[in-house]
Amino acid sequence: MAEASRESAPYTEADLRLIKRILPHRYPFLFIDKVRDIVPFESGVGIKNVTSNEPHFQGHFPNEPVMPGVTIIEAMAQTSAVVVGVSMNIIDADLATYFMGIDKCKFRRMVVPGDVLELHVKAVRGGGKIWKFEGQALVDGHVCASAEFTAMMAKKADD
């Protein structure tokens, strides 16, 4: 994995094209639309526009659609992986991100179609293959979920 100096990261924002150059995730498992306010090696804010046509709403729940909590945490992790990708200059590196742990996870408010989910993530430890983040998911300034999570970026396993 390429090392990067803290001054070398050229991006403070990632649109969908750049996100796809960093993350291997695609529909229906790509849960972020944009990452803004990227401070390399420190933090970023992911944006998820929650729409009613997402596949998980067919069964969770048909008459009262609620975004599953695990997808909110996954969206936080994807935001963090983009921050790492920009920080370490590992765009187009064909890496995968693997969860290693999730701690202090709490859900406080439902996320529903029409919401704009802001995923605020902050690096607690990192700089190499293994990173630890703390994150909060907010809608209209209200905390919906929070968690600490650890992940590793590594070469994809061979098929």
What SS3 state is found at 21?
Answer: helix
**Catalytic one of 25, 60, 120, 142:** 60
How many angstroms separate the CA atoms of 136 and 121, rounded? Answer: 7
157: left (phi over 0), alpha (psi -120 to 50) or beta: beta
Half-sphere exposure of 12 (CA within 13 A, CB side): 3
N- to C-terminal Cα separation, the chain: 20
**Active-site annotation holds for 60:** yes
Task: Supply the Cα-derived Rg of the chain in whole angstroms.
Answer: 15
Active site residues: 60
